[in-house]
Structure 1
């Protein structure tokens, strides 16, 4: 699967809508507070991936990503959103893919999201099901521009 999206927050987000439903009535920009962003990533509710710049990005879903970062992610419903950070659940809204991106069906469970910025504005992304816990231990927001692995 290939998709494109446009971001004004330099961020790609990947999440199951059910995993962030508790943020529906929160402020739309709740995730702009680094502590809140990192807390939700560490709980496995969302993968926010900093891109280093705004603009249009192409995402290629591949079987394997080399030299990227990985984030553990809960997927309770099997309906995953991949797209701009601006579309994350909050402010009484859920993603509609109005900035591009899209929804991806997977089996419910826990996934390892591997991602890498392979060339400017092109992201490789893989989703691998795992039996491991969806817990991450990041201290700062995750960035594809740096090697801040788990």
Structure 2
């Protein structure tokens, strides 16, 4: 799968958990404090990739030596993976018409494990009892 981002960011989230952001500005998450609060609440995993462009994604059942691990809450059993600009907001919810994909994820909590090797990003969604984080800064891979 290839994701193209114009915001140097990839995101993963259960759309059911971000419906409260539907009427927010489409770029609500571009405010660092708002992004960090949503990540720490487990509502979304934003991965800042350092540059706009295309990234190839590979999903794994498990991922050895991840560069980052983010806890994510899941209530619907479905997680969207896409460019940061596809996050819920501005009256729009994610779809796959312009990229991105939906994957099944365990209901409850999971850890999103990520590793980046150049333009290749490897991800794994692993069941976990935790669904929140305590990051002091934005997540970069």
Q: TM-score range by the shorter chain?
A: over 0.9
Q: Report the counterpart of residue 122 of structure 2 in structure 1.
A: 124
1:48 deviation in Å?
0.1
SS at match of 1:113: strand
Please state how far the C-alpha of 1:64 moved relative to its aligned partner.
Answer: 2.4
Residue from 46, 49, 62 that aligns with 1:48? 46
Query: Hey, what does 1:69 align to over in structure 2?
Result: 68
Which ranges of structure 2 fall in alignment gaps of 5 or more residues?
none
Measure the CA separation in 2 of the matches of 1:105 and 1:126.
Answer: 11
Root-mean-square deviation (Å): 1.0
For the Cα contact (< 8 Å) 1:13–1:84, is it kept in 2?
A: yes
Q: Deviations over 1:83-114 (max 9, x none)?
A: 10000000010011244220112232110000
- TM-score, structure 1 as length reference: 0.89
CA contact (8 A) 1:7 1:99 kept: no
1:142 maps to 2:100? no
- Uncovered stretches (5+) of structure 1, i.e. residues with no partner: 145-150
Q: TM-score, normalised by structure 2?
A: 0.95
Matches within 5 A, 1:1-150: 3-65=1-63, 66-118=65-117, 120-131=118-129, 133-144=130-141
**Runs of 4+ in structure 1 over 6 Å off:** none
How many residues are aligned here?
140
CA separation in 2, counterparts of 1:67 and 1:129? 15
